[in-house]
Amino acid sequence: MTAKIINGIEVSAAIRADLRERVTAMADRGVVPGLAVIKVGVDPASAVYVRNKVRACGEVGIQSSQYDFEANVSQQTVLDLIGDLNERPNIHGILVQLPLPPHFAIADILQTISVDKDVDGFHLYNVGGLVAGGTVFPPCTPYGVVKILEHEGIEIEGKNVVVVGASNIVGKPMALMLMQRDATVCICHAKTRDLAQFTILADILVVAVGKPNLILPEMVKTGAVVIDVGINRLPDGKLVGDTDFEGLRHKVSHITPVPGGVGPMTVTMLLANTVASAERRLQTQSERLLTSVAS
Ligand code: NAD
């Protein structure tokens, strides 16, 4: 079997084209979606991520505003800015680039972002909504994985899904989102004994760990769908995922490459959440107007 290599750049481009149309439709009604991006310190990786997000906003017509702070800024200063951005009607999404310097209590920062501007989906309300239903913003990376599966026409309902990696930003929300779509989900992590006995059962295997070559061909069922979220830089500078891509591509039905698989989707889903936020606000305003006219 030769796998279909899922092109995340192509899937991303299709979603961004749709977003551009929705942004244009809103512009006709006088609204431009706005995203505020807050960065603290000089972490080089964070600088690249923020630059990519700001550029992507420009591509689809989202107005981004960037707030850069020195690493020694007080937490209160950042909390005050978030409080201010929460109130601004031209801001529909607020993103704080992680990681933050050690003197920050990340939970306090994330819980201060208004639930209806939490486009990263990290506020406890949005996380809780993944369990109970009613999340306002699905977190971007797992949301991107779901969109890839949908775009490829891969059925989720009733499938055995194994998620390797149980972080708050990828593994756990991923598992919840797939469970919500009626998959039978198993989550593996660093303490899982004999990883292969679980991965071999997967119809859909999502791997988000950060270890090159963790998943080898003998650990995967023939014809499985493999989504590799991992990003690892090898000593020679090459970027790879968590799976043995060359080995697996002759055994599975679909696989995402690294780079060019899940990565581009994460930023795209941030854009999607921001556009959805602006649309929701517009809808609420229209409903209020109708109610006031009617009464
Ligand atoms: P994390 O370090 O927060 O979590 C890693 C998870 O892997 C933990 O749950 C840990 O228990 C588990 N784990 C560690 N060793 C394991 C092993 N041997 N077997 C099974 N599980 C093991 O990482 P994260 O933030 O979730 O990111 C995971 C990977 O995904 C990283 O490579 C990261 O760079 C990448 N990532 C990619 C994107 C993207 O847009 N493509 C977005 C976020 C993260």
Do residues 163 and 187 touch, judged by C-beta distance below 8 A?
Answer: yes
Mean pLDDT, to the nearest integer, of 277-282? 96
Helices (H), 156-212: 171-180, 195-199
CA 230 to centroid of ligand 1, rounded, Å: 6
The stretch 16-45 carries a mean pLDDT of 96
The pLDDT of 182-211, averaged and rounded, is 98
97 is catalytic: yes
CA of 252 to the centre of ligand 1 (A): 22
* Cβ 205 under 6 angstroms from ligand 1: no
What is the model's pLDDT at position 279?
97
The answer to whether 90 and 63 are in contact (CB under 8 A) is: yes
Task: Write down the catalytic residue from 116, 118, 120, 244.
Answer: 120
pLDDT of residue 208: 98
Give the pLDDT confidence of 35-66 residue by residue, as tens digits: 999 999 999 999 999 999 999 999 999 999 99
Quick check: CB of 57 below 6 Å from ligand 1? no
Which CATH code for domain 140-262?
A: 3.40.50.720
pLDDT at 176 over 80: yes
- Asked if residue 10 has pLDDT above 80, the reply is yes
Can you give the pLDDT at residue 172?
98
Cβ of 269 closer than 6 Å to ligand 1, yes or no, is no
* Choices 3.40.50.10420, 3.40.50.720, 3.40.50.10860, 3.10.100.10: CATH for 31-121: 3.40.50.10860
**Is residue 167 lining ligand 1, measured as CB closer than 6 Å?**
yes
Find the mean pLDDT for residues 212-226.
98
Determine the distance separating the centroid of ligand 1 and the alpha carbon of 202, expressed in angstroms: 18
Share of the chain above pLDDT 70, in %: 100
Please write the tens of the pLDDT for every residue from 74-122: 999 999 999 999 999 999 999 999 999 999 999 999 999 999 999 999 9
Residues paired with 186 in a beta bridge? 162
> What gap in Å lies between CA 81 and CA 246, rounded to an integer?
47
**Segments making up each domain of the chain, as ranges:** 31-121, 140-262
Cis ω before 259 (30° cut-off from 0): yes
Signed CA dihedral, 250, 251, 257, 261: sign only: positive
pLDDT at 295 over 80: no
> Is residue 175 pLDDT above 80, yes or no?
yes
Do the domains 140-262 and 31-121 match in fold? yes
pLDDT at 289: 83
Has this prediction a pTM greater than 0.85? yes
